[in-house]
Copies of this chain bind each other. A is one copy, B any other.
């Protein structure tokens, strides 16, 4: 048989460009014209490679998750629950204000609300956000087993709290807040976290 004409663009590079467009404009706000221009390809190539606009988003989300997985590995490798929380919010403050990316978080920015034909996109994004919360919760359950978290600590509540603060930081960053502002929020948030009660009130 024959292999056919090879693809003339780099799928991952194109996905990175698409990711940025979705990140900056949201799912509904990202038009095919924007996407194809940024990706440097024409609509038929896009549809041949990703099936649909929604398929393209999912592929971009997969790539986003892949990118952040090493970050999360570092976060979860923290020695204590407290250190995990510090690393988590700290890395969020950095990544959400990284000038190499649009501000904020793709999973928040991509679309909390959508138009008529895209009602399932918000669910898709929410389920991806939930994955990180689950990782944190399981890490805190482990910490509790290790005696690193007190018996009265609630891993699910702590994970949900951190995840919620992270979403809030995404909203904050998307409206132009700078890195120091996010670090400040992270710092105050950590006061709610068990361990190292000493530096509760003072701020940097």
Q: Which residues of A does B touch, CB under 8 Å?
A: 23-26, 28-31, 34, 104, 108-116, 118, 122-123, 125-126, 129-130, 150, 152-154, 157-158, 160-161, 163-172, 174-176, 181, 184-185, 187-194, 197, 200-203
Mind listing 12 A-B residue pairs with CB under 8 Å?
A28-B29, A31-B115, A34-B116, A108-B171, A126-B174, A158-B188, A160-B172, A160-B184, A165-B165, A165-B189, A167-B168, A168-B168
Closest to A107 in B: B171
CB distance from A13 to the nearest CB of B (A): 22
Q: Contact: B104 with A29, CB < 8 Å?
A: no
Q: Contact: B115 with A112, CB < 8 Å?
A: no
CB distance from A26 to the nearest CB of B (A): 3
* A14 CA to B175 CA, complexed, in Å: 29
What residues on B are CB-neighbors of A174 within 8 Å?
112-113, 122, 126
Q: Contact: B114 with A112, CB < 8 Å?
A: no
Q: Contact: B152 with A202, CB < 8 Å?
A: yes
Majority secondary structure, A binding face: helix
Across the interface, A164 reaches (CB within 8 A) one of B26, B31, B171, B200, namely B171
Q: Contact: B108 with A29, CB < 8 Å?
A: no
Q: Contact: B194 with A26, CB < 8 Å?
A: no
What residues on B are CB-neighbors of A175 within 8 Å?
112, 122-123, 125-126, 129-130
* A28 CA to B113 CA, complexed, in Å: 9
Q: Contact: A157 with B203, CB < 8 Å?
A: yes
Q: Contact: A26 with B112, CB < 8 Å?
A: yes
What residues on B are CB-neighbors of A165 within 8 Å?
164-165, 168, 189
Across the interface, A166 reaches (CB within 8 A) one of B116, B118, B153, B168, namely B168
Q: Contact: B160 with A167, CB < 8 Å?
A: no
What residues on B are CB-neighbors of A118 within 8 Å?
29
